């Protein structure tokens, strides 16, 4: 029978395990549990899982003409006017450099010309440069305005088509894929890329193309 202590009756003390000189001490439980790995045993990697891992393929490329799939007749008018204005804007730089070169030639011939004739030639060439600057301003304004307007119209059409496709889906689609904002954010980022390509990249490339073309002609 155990003795009664401060906290009530306690169990009688258990006898200690006798240990002699030839006996081995009992094994203590490992703190690592079943996670101990023998270093002599080679570890086999899960090769089957690596074989079945699918490598994410890049999205297929889209032709350049697919950017204008949702353009109507008014968008085509805006794109044609914007392209012509971009061509005029690009040509204006080359024509300006042509007349600026004539002014430099007048400075080299100033000794063989009287002052009145030299002033008249300077005035004439300066007026040409002013006309070119006015034309470049008008064509640049038309170029940027037309392409930005058609970009806004076409991206708005893409958004409306996307909403129509979403509304035609079954309810199970919204339970599995449509409950988070990943699809919406992905579509919005793609629409912004299309708008950037239509509003900025196309007319800039047209402008630079005509600059190089007129330079090569001269």
Quote the domain boundaries for residue 149: 73-217
In a domain, 119, yes or no: yes
Q: What is d(CA 206, CA 218) in angstroms, rounded to the nearest whole number?
A: 19
> Is the pLDDT confidence value at 1 over 70?
no
In a domain, 203, yes or no: yes
Q: Is 150 exposed, middle or buried (0-12, 13-18, 19+ CB in 10 A)?
A: buried
In a domain, 42, yes or no: no
In a domain, 148, yes or no: yes
In a domain, 93, yes or no: yes
The number of domains in the chain is: 1
In a domain, 56, yes or no: no
49-63 pLDDT, tens per residue?
454 455 666 767 777
Q: What is the pTM of this model?
A: 0.63
Q: What is d(CA 62, CA 101) in angstroms, rounded to the nearest whole number?
A: 44
Residue 199: closest CA among 144, 156, 142, 122: 144
> Which residues are bridge partners to 5 per DSSP?
8
Please name the residue that has the structure tokens 């190089």. Answer: 212
Q: Rounded to 10 degrees, what is the CA torsion of 115, 118, 124, 130?
A: -90
Q: Tell me, what's the pLDDT at 141?
A: 93
In a domain, 123, yes or no: yes
Span 56-85, average pLDDT: 83
Q: Rounded to 10 degrees, what is the CA torsion of 48, 52, 53, 54?
A: 160
In a domain, 8, yes or no: no
User: Which tokens is 144 given?
Assistant: 């940027």
> Is the pLDDT confidence value at 180 over 90?
no
CATH code at position 160: 1.20.1560.10
Q: Tell me, what's the pLDDT at 211?
A: 84
Please name the residue that has the structure tokens 């037309």. Answer: 146
Q: What is d(CA 102, CA 122) in angstroms, rounded to the nearest whole number?
A: 9
| Region for 8 from its dihedrals, namely left if φ exceeds 0, alpha if ψ lies in -120 to 50, beta otherwise | left
């Amino acid at each position: 029978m155990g003795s009664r202590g401060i906290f009530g009756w306690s169990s009688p003390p258990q006898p200690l395990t006798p240990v002699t000189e030839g006996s081995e001490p009992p094994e203590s439980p490992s703190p690592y549990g079943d996670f101990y790995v023998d270093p002599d045993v080679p570890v086999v990697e899960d090769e089957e899982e690596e074989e079945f891992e699918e490598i994410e393929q890049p999205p297929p490329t889209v032709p350049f003409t697919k950017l204008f799939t949702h353009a109507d007749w008014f968008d085509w008018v805006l794109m044609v006017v914007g392209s012509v204005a971009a061509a005029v804007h690009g040509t204006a730089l080359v024509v300006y450099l042509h007349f600026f070169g004539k002014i430099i030639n007048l400075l080299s011939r100033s000794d063989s010309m009287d002052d009145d004739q030299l002033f008249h030639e300077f005035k004439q060439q300066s007026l040409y440069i002013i006309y070119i600057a006015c034309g470049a301003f008008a064509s640049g304004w038309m170029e940027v305005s037309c392409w930005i307007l058609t970009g806004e119209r076409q991206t708005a059409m893409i958004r409306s088509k996307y909403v129509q496709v979403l509304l035609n889906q079954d309810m199970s689609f919204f339970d599995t894929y449509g409950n988070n904002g990943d699809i919406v954010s992905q579509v919005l980022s793609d629409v912004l890329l299309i708008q950037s390509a239509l509003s900025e990249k196309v007319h800039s490339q047209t402008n630079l193309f005509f600059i190089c073309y007129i330079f090569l002609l001269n």
